[in-house]
Amino acid sequence: MRASRLLSILLMLQTRGRLTAETLAAEFEVSVRTIYRDIDQLSAAGAPVYADRGRSGGFQLLDGYRTRLTGLTDAEAETLFLGGLAGPAAQMGFSEAVGAMQLKLLAALPPERQAAAERIAGRFHLDPIGWFQTAEEAHRLPAIAQAVWTCRRIVVLYDSWSGRRERTLEPLGLILKAGRWYLAALTAGGEAGAAPRTYRISNVVELTVSEEVFERPDGFDLPDWWAETSQRFERERFTQQARLRLTARGLKHLAMFGAEYARLAGEATPGADGWAEVDAPFEDLGYATSEFMRLGAEAEVLAPPELREAVVEACGRTLALYASLPLEGEGSRMG
């Protein structure tokens, strides 16, 4: 445990620069006295750690010192090759960089760990795309990725539900969610302190990368922001509720609509008549109508009245369409 902590302290000093004993103690959940002992042991082992005294002091490494990639356990070395980066990196235009990184990593590992790290790629494969789906084509993704990396503004023609509109954005980060790419970005010249918004990359119709450079907001953390944003979206998406009556087969189909529907279906039990009732959330009337019609005769919308009427009307239009079509080998019934 201590050897692992010593290596972690060394790597933290290498990547973060000067750190106080209090900061290190809080990071590793040990006492300040323990950190001082660890620093002494690192110095005795030849690591060029020195201390600056005073209010803004702390421990740091001599300028230019870098550790070699040693101290990795077998599990840690293997995990580095389980990142699932090859596909996403290729979409963003970084496939060569990832390949070079893995090659250098292998060269830095001891021989006995090289085989273990390479073996994992042949035994585990990560495929984030759902069944009967394909990864979205994102032809503009490499250019957007470079704009994110170099902090350059972009001008996009964006196709949203309200129509196409030109926007000037400050791209902060890219997210790959279930095979779909999203961009976190601020509106250039927008209100100070405004929160980033989410843009789906496949909806970008036109793209121009500007020469203008912007300043990233201090303290912006992409993983934390995405976790909060996605959770809020899921909470706020379903604002209405429908009462459904379903057969056992209908419950199985409902479970395929998403996690919340799967939970509801799993908690429902058909009665003696073979039907069960559940309260299913939905986003809006039009979307709910098309979604619940997918359940066919295995489900009945009981409430609200406007949703039931919308489903009945949609079923009537479908019936009228098929009634107007000729059967195979027959002439048109309309004639």
27 alpha-carbon distance from chain centroid: 26
CA neighbor of 143 nearest in space, from 116, 122, 174, 117: 174
C-alpha 235/C-alpha 76 separation (Å) is 36
Pick the CATH number of 2-61 from 3.30.70.20, 1.10.10.10, 1.10.540.10, 3.90.180.10: 1.10.10.10
What is the predicted pLDDT for the residue at 254?
95
- Tokens encoding 135: 């990864």
What is the predicted pLDDT for the residue at 154?
97
What is the predicted pLDDT for the residue at 75?
62
pTM: 0.59
Q: Average per-residue pLDDT in the chain?
A: 83
Instruction: Write out pLDDT tens, residues 71-123.
Output: 555 566 566 565 555 667 666 766 666 666 666 666 656 666 666 666 666 67
* Residue 332 pLDDT greater than 70, yes or no: no
What is the predicted pLDDT for the residue at 198?
95
Match 């509801």 to its residue by tokens.
Answer: 264
Q: Give the pLDDT mean for 175-189.
A: 89
Q: Give the pLDDT mean for 196-203.
A: 93
| Banded pLDDT at 333 (limits 50, 70, 90) | very low
With 0-12 CB in 10 A as exposed, 13-18 as middle and 19+ as buried, what is 58?
middle
C-alpha 222/C-alpha 272 separation (Å) is 51
C-alpha 179/C-alpha 56 separation (Å) is 46
Q: Is 52 helix (H, G, I), strand (E, B) or coil?
A: strand
C-alpha 113/C-alpha 330 separation (Å) is 72
C-alpha 281/C-alpha 296 separation (Å) is 18
C-alpha 259/C-alpha 71 separation (Å) is 41
- Tokens encoding 324: 């107007």
* Residue 280 pLDDT greater than 90, yes or no: yes
Instruction: Write out pLDDT tens, residues 10-68.
Output: 878 877 788 998 999 998 889 999 999 999 888 888 888 888 776 667 898 887 776 65
Q: Give the pLDDT mean for 229-252.
A: 90
Average the pLDDT over each of 52-61, 219-228, 268-277, 317-326 and give the range with the smallest value: 52-61
* CB neighbour list of residue 316: distance below 8 Å, 6 or more residues apart: none
Contact 48, 61 (CB under 8 A): yes
Distances (CA, A) of 109 to 43, 119, 139: 24, 14, 36
CATH code given to domain 141-233: 2.30.30
Instruction: Write out pLDDT tens, residues 139-154.
Output: 788 899 999 999 999 9
Contact 155, 210 (CB under 8 A): yes
Question: What percent of the chain has a predicted confidence (pLDDT) above 70?
Answer: 75
Contact 150, 93 (CB under 8 A): no
Cα–Cα–Cα angle for 45, 23, 217, nearest 5°?
120
Distances (CA, A) of 2 to 9, 37, 47, 222: 10, 11, 16, 32
C-alpha 309/C-alpha 321 separation (Å) is 18
The domain locations on the chain are 2-61, 74-123, 141-233, 238-323
